[in-house]
Structure 1
Amino acid sequence: MSGADLGKTEAVEAAVGDGARMSRPKAIVVVPRDGVVPPLAAAEAEADLTVVRTSGELRAAQEDAEILFLNDFRSTLLREVGPGRLRWIHTSSIGMDPLLTASIIDSDIVASNTRGVCERPIAEWILGVLLLFTKDLRRTIELQSRHSWQHRETEAIQGRRVLVAGPGPVGRETVLLLRAAGMDVTVVGRSAREDAELGGVRAITDLDDLLPLADDVVLTLPLTEETRGLFDARKLGLMRSGARLVNVGRGAVVVADDLLAAIDGRHLGGAALDVFEQEPLPPEHPFWSRSNVLVSPHASGDLVGWRGRVVDRFVDNLRRWKAGQPLQDVVDLRRLGATAPASTGH
């Protein structure tokens, strides 16, 4: 273990140990400026909460709070204000983009995320959009609206070759579900390795050789400086003619203009996008008008009741913090590295 890793481990243990002495710690809850406040009753039973929406509110709340529950995955408040005296930040999402700043990464702040809520729903959404494309369901709905009976043939799911880039929690669940549906799935990660559950994982440096072989490419990649703009005109051009792209990772992993050109030029058969570099997607964006592009409002993992389940994960960790127990789903931000904001939206 390196000196930096050892220091980080000691910081986690110290922070959790101090947590055991706080019967009612003070915690900040960041919510979208115009968004819904999650059901916080369970958290209010464990801590004194301050809900904030603006940089001014966050700056004031930081004066006597060491815990922050980030309930807005698009928030730039921590980038604007800095972490202050915070010692633990828990995100409501799997992605850690709002925390990937030098001031947080290089500090002793403990970071944890929310797992076990969105992974399976996102995998189901991916399977759903692949069925939408292969079974031509969108066209069926359009024809029904015109009272038009047109017999057509469709494509098979069984044996379809799918490349999943990003074997994290969402990618893992996706691979298992697509394989259960009969698809032939290749997994690509940062480095080549054997995984007990997924089998062989190919290195991301093998993408150039693998893209021409896939019927569908599914992106579940986090945004890092290495993945930003990874799927540009060259990578998209390597995909087989008629292939489809599904992106549930981060919008900035794909160069939107290059994707649009590949679709309009009929090199790619279509795309299903749940994430965009700018969110909300502007109403004038060309993606809205393309019949072979599915635009989804970053909601692939949001089942009915998801906000309550996210709070439950935070509360479980909050109780661990207070009891001096190890936190669950701690993320090593140094492995991800500092990045620019994932989205230009608010």
Structure 2
Amino acid sequence: MSEKAAVLVAGSWGTALASVLADKMDVMIWTRNEAQKDEINEEHRNERFLPGVELSPRIVATTDMGEAVAGAKAVVIVAPSSAMREVARSLKAYWNEEMTIVHATKGFETESLKRMSVVIAEELGCEEGRIVVLSGPSHAEEVVKRCPTTVVVASLVEEQAQRAQDLFMNSYFRVYTNRDMVGVELAGALKNIIALGAGMSDGLGYGDNAKAALLTRGLAEITRIGVEMGANPLTFAGLAGVGDLVVTATSRHSRNWRAGYMLGEGKSLDTVLSSMGMVVEGIRTTKAARTISEKYQVQMPIAQQLYHVLFDGIEPRVAVEALMGRDRKTEMEVMSLETWEQWHN
């Protein structure tokens, strides 16, 4: 009998990861949408999220979570951050300790500011070390075409990360392990803010100089808050950090870049969201980051200005002027001396 994995839910990234898994095993993908289920099962397509892509016949969709999870060696959760707690709560009735639990969602729970692994562990009633996070530079549109892709899987328990590595790794999808789960999750979530800013810069017509500076200073900003929250600074120089930042902030495949571009063109946030038709995690994350920066007393000037654009109605050009007019700084102000010494020693 073939091995089986379950994927929750059938968005673009969930479907792409199901395609990777289908190279090795049967995959059952869970959706709430009856029409989407029928399209995947009868036509082997998911046109709303991955138009023009033919899916493996080993991918079968269901609207019954219990059916999706039954007998699965692994459960991969790719729900939007806003729905993660609800999905994890529903999963609790069906999972067991033998299953590898992987999530691939890049965001925070806005109200609690908790990382997704914490939310899942709380709802399943297990240790956070049972959870694995998958992240890195990976557009769904390229993964389903078997373009070479490299990602990282992180867990507090090395054995769990290695299980996920074995699960996903194949000839076109290379997987590294990492013990810094906090850093990998923070990097994946926070880079969406910088990608919004990069799209906005392009929409304003500011060119490559401005975008390069934005990405560089954005990475410093992400690293600064990440280290204060307990992450390893080296994680932000790896696949989950600079790798994911580059791919998300420079590609038209990126929802966050596209949303930022439309904002830079002068479109309202409501117009942008209605035209996207899919979740733009960077918008929710910008709101969370503002609260996090206040909580940890760490400056995040790019996130702060994007918050003003998104939620206070400030014009994008005014936000850029505010960033360019900040007080003089030294480039090496990435983290506090005390924190740096803790990691260095």
Q: Which has the higher contact order (CA 8 A, sep 6+)?
A: 1
The TM-score with structure 1 as length reference comes to 0.36
Max Rg structure = 1
The TM-score with structure 2 as length reference comes to 0.36
